[in-house]
Amino acid sequence: MSNTSKKIAVFPGSFDPITLGHVDIINRALPLFDTIIIAIGSNATKNHMWSLRDRKIAIETLFKNNDAIKVAAYEGLTATFCKSQGAQFIVRGLRNSTDFEYEQTIAQANDKVNGIDSVFIISNPEYGFISSSIVRDIARNGGDYSKLVP
């Protein structure tokens, strides 16, 4: 199968840290695509708790036995990264209607300007409350966040 006929998706995020919610979305997206690239975005305006290197290693370790998953770091626009990887799709997890409203506008722009389709996967209710922000807040305050991350 040539690269152009493969279905390649990018799952972008800061993954600071990767959560059980992220893992659930990735696992549920796997049957839809030949390859999923977990793309760790570098955002200079964000103050990350875990280094890019640590986040990348953690994700690579987590999915080391799955050849359909690749891990990469990138800067700039997600759609530009998608094109550089030959990806036709962006996967996004939606926890609630606020996530949908935010993601819908970006998805429409990515489609119109770059021809990249977005695939939304609704969060499993079991993980719908988990966000990296919540995990970071718990970690910063010395709490036990082990039930929220892989």
Please tell me which residue in 6, 7, 46, 64 is annotated as part of the active site.
Answer: 46
Maximum CA extent, the chain = 50
- pLDDT > 70: what percent of the chain? 97
What is the reported pLDDT for 4? 55
Within the chain, residue ranges assigned H as helices are: 20-29, 52-62, 78-85, 97-109, 132-140
* Close Cβ partners of 140 (under 8 Å, ≥ 6 residues apart): 49
CA separation for the pair 19, 38 (Å, rounded): 13
62, 72, 109, 107: CA torsion to nearest 10: -10
CA separation for the pair 135, 147 (Å, rounded): 10
pLDDT band at 46 (very low <50, low <70, confident <90, very high): confident
Query: What value does the mean pLDDT of the chain take?
Result: 94
* Close Cβ partners of 60 (under 8 Å, ≥ 6 residues apart): 71
Q: Check if 46 is active-site.
A: yes
CATH of domain 3-140: 3.40.50.620
Dump pLDDT digits (tens) for 6-45: 999 999 999 999 999 999 999 999 999 999 999 999 876 7
Please tell me which residue in 14, 118, 123, 132 is annotated as part of the active site.
Answer: 132
**Of 15, 8, 30, 17, which is closest to residue 90 (Cα–Cα)?**
8
pLDDT band at 3 (very low <50, low <70, confident <90, very high): low
Identify the three-state secondary structure at position 12: strand
In the sheet that holds 69-74, the strands lie side by side as: 69-74, 35-41, 8-13, 89-94, 117-122
Q: Where are the domains of the chain?
A: 3-140
Dump pLDDT digits (tens) for 137-149: 999 999 999 999 9
Please tell me which residue in 22, 92, 118, 123 is annotated as part of the active site.
Answer: 22
**Of 103, 88, 110, 127, which is closest to residue 9 (Cα–Cα)?**
88
Please tell me which residue in 55, 92, 95, 118 is annotated as part of the active site.
Answer: 95
CB 75 within 8 A of CB 108: no
Q: Check if 22 is active-site.
A: yes
The label of the residue with tokens 């530009």 reads 80
